[in-house]
Structure 1
Amino acid sequence: MDPVVMNINGQDSPREVEEGTATFLEGKDSSRTAFLPCIISHEFFSLEVWRASVAELLGTAVLVFVLDTIVISSYQTKTETPNLAISFFIFPTLTILLLATFPISGGHINPIITFSAALVGVISHSRAFVYVLAQCAGAVLGALALKAVVNSNIEETFSLGGCTLSVIVPGPDGAITVGINTGQALWLEIICTFVLLFASVWIAFDDRQAKALGLVRVCSIIGAVAGVLVFVSTTVTATKGYAGAGMNPARCLGAALVRGGQLWNGLWVFWVGPAIACLLFYVYVKTIRDLPPWTEVLSKNGLP
């Protein structure tokens, strides 16, 4: 997912944030050297970083436009299982966009990928800051593009395809609010985001797995896992009004800024939940980083 991990910079051993600066170590860092990548502020003036941020901006804009369109289309056509249709189309959409942006930026197009990469030392914090700003700006552009082409009635009915916890619908005694509470939504964000990081994104961060599987398979796994998690989150709640686990705070923010209204209710959940999941993922990575590969464990125990 990142140039440092999967070698998009054209180096045989891509472990440097910038040539001549701090080196990322593999599990044997002292506290001093482990902190060095976090303080590389000169990346703010790096043309390569800003060029990569443009790819993140455009990639996120396209992602938001396409995914929100898919959400609206799936519900507008009155599909029997709209959540299944949405999950199905997330897979190819996310896979293609990851492949498209990877050669330039490492293919994040999601603040949780960037944040977790910075936490585990894959990229510097300054690069992560620029990426997240670009992703949020791209999400707003994608939402603006969608708003410009959809009918105003559709925009209002489907909340521009954004992240919702609840919606207002007509009832026998007037308008009522249907959806899930913030506690349920927060737990779903934490769980689904952690599973996404654990089951797919970690493959991109791990050199051995990334090299063994190859770029296309890694991106496909991430797309497939994201699609499955959206389906699971909407199925277990089975509640109208809840859009499912966001797992991309920028996408939720873009629609909220452009559309507003109900999208602001509980927006913090789609930021706080993934942030907590990233911290849990960091603890997990730090816990297992010094463990030897399972094949070495078997070999030492005399097993085949």
Structure 2
Amino acid sequence: MAQNVPMVEDEESFYIGSRVQPVPSTPKPDQSRFEDGKSNACKLSEMLGLEEFLSLNVWRASLAELIGSAILVFAIDTIVISSYETKTESPKLMMSLLISIIIAILLLAVNPVSGGHINPAITLAAALVGLISLSRAAVYILAQCAGSVLGALALKAVVNSTIEETFSLGGCTLTVVAPGPKGPISIGLGTSQALWLEIICTFVLLFASIWIAFDHRQARALGRVIIFSVIGIVVGLLVFVSTTVTGAQGYAGAGMNPARCLGPAIVRGGHLWNGHWVFWAGPTIASVAFYLYTKIIPRQHFHAHGYEHDFLNILKAVFIS
């Protein structure tokens, strides 16, 4: 941090012509350590983006994340319910196609305001890479979770009790209780399998689509419409794959969005809390794995604006201070 501290010439070099010697005096306490500590603390505060907690613009941007997340939960859950209630031959395929479309539309609507995250996994990955600060990420994730609750409340207000009971407001489930020959039984997917599906599907989402949006070369070359359409298609494919590859009834498929799973769980409760941690742990692990991948590949192959908030740089600043 020495480059941030002004260098002051000593008296001998200042009076270089007459070689005046400094007059002996009472030694003053060394301020360099205090100044270095203060400089490190200020730089760490900037890297964490702590001032953004008080920024009105950040909170205004988070409003787009809140509304986008609310619409996302309401739209996706109604798509899930409608796909099965219409008794089509391929409800999972129809559901995946409709989810692709709604994701692309929402990202196009939210992107100009907040960057178009509407997903804590994407927000965390962006924060780790350094595209946004951890403070902004915390505000966004809070808004996304609040929006998810609002979306679930809106859905609860319009569906009847039978549909709510049958589909659990479209929430993320690992297992459900079903009638069996000797009484109710729990059917669904094991925790370890579901966790691996969350990790793999979320990583594929980040690698195969969000990576394009993070790289400003491809973002500029392809344009927002194509990029967000690709993201929507990838999400739809992952939904289709995760709901069909296991063949387990009671398993709702990979969530890939912890906030989307949280809203119905809070509003509906009950078995939606069973294994709910999986829908948070999986995307978190995937986001960290994606960040590590960006650190391993050659720097020239990753072109993104930012880096001042890179997580490793923050850790370095913490240990230096």
What range is the shorter-chain TM-score in?
0.7 to 0.9
Structure 2 residue 66 is matched with structure 1 residue 57: yes
Partner of 1:86: 95
Q: Which amino acid aligns with 1:136?
A: C
After TM superposition, list the pairs within 5 Å mapping 1:13-32 onto structure 2: none
| Aligned 8 A contact 1:37 1:125 in 2 | no
| One-letter code aligned to 2:113 | I
Q: Which runs of 4+ in 1 moved over 6 A?
A: 32-36
Please report the TM-score for the alignment, with normalisation by the length of structure 2.
0.79
User: What displacement does 1:168 show?
Assistant: 1.1
- Give the count of matched residue pairs: 264
1:44–1:127: 8 Å Cα contact kept in structure 2?
yes
1:240 to 241, 249, 255: 249
Classify the secondary structure of the residue corresponding to 2:112.
helix
Q: What is the distance in 2 between the residues matched to 1:272 and 1:104?
A: 28
Q: Which amino acid aligns with 1:133?
A: L
- SS in structure 1 opposite 2:185? strand
Q: Is the 8 A contact 1:185 1:245 kept in 2?
A: yes
Superposition pairs for residues 134-153 of structure 1, below 5 Å? 134-153=143-162
Instruction: Find out whether 1:224 has 2:233 as its counterpart.
Output: yes
AA partner of residue 93 (structure 1)? I
Q: How far is the alpha carbon of 1:280 from its aligned partner?
A: 0.3
Alignment of 1:1-304 (within 5 A): 38-292=47-301
Q: Which runs of 5+ in 1 are unaligned?
A: 1-31, 294-304
Secondary structure of 1:158's aligned partner? helix
RMSD (CA atoms): 1.9
Q: CA deviation at 1:257?
A: 0.1
Measure the CA separation in 1 of the matches of 2:42 and 2:125.
19
Amino acid at match of 1:64: V
Give the drift of 1:86: 1.2
Task: Specify the structure having the higher radius of gyration (Cα).
Answer: 2
What letter is aligned with 2:214?
F
- Measured after TM superposition, the shift of residue 279 of structure 1 is 0.4
What are the Cα deviations for residues 226-249 of structure 1, in whole angstroms up to 9, with x where unaligned?
000011111110111111000000
Which AA in structure 1 matches 2:118?
Answer: I
Q: Report % sequence identity.
A: 68
Contact 1:34–1:121, Cα closer than 8 Å, also in 2: no
Match of 1:286, as an amino acid?
K
Q: Is contact 1:37–1:123 with CA below 8 Å preserved after alignment?
A: no
Distance, in Å, in 2 between the alignment partners of 1:34 and 1:255 is 40
Query: SS of 2:299's equivalent?
Result: coil
Q: Identify unmatched segments of 5+ residues in structure 2.
A: 1-40, 303-321
Q: Taking structure 1 as reference, are residues 123 and 37 closer, same or farther at Cα in structure 2, changes over 3 Å only?
A: farther
Task: Give the superposition deviation at 1:78.
Answer: 2.8
The structure-2 alpha-carbon separation of the partners of 1:33 and 1:242, relative to structure 1 and needing over 3 Å to count, comes to farther
Structure 1 residue 109, shift from structure 2 partner:
0.6
Q: Following TM superposition, by how much is the alpha carbon of 1:156 offset from its aligned partner in structure 2, in angstroms?
A: 0.8
| Cα distance in 2 for residues equivalent to 1:51 and 1:255 | 25
Distance of 2:44 and 2:210 partners within structure 1: 22
* Gap change, CA 1:35 and 1:288, over 3 Å in 2: farther
Report if the CA contact (8 A) 1:37-1:121 is conserved.
no
Aligned equivalents of 1:141, 1:231: Cα separation in 2: 26
Call closer, same or farther: CA 1:267–1:38 in 2, change over 3 Å: farther
CA–CA separation in structure 2 for the residues paired with 1:203 and 1:147: 36
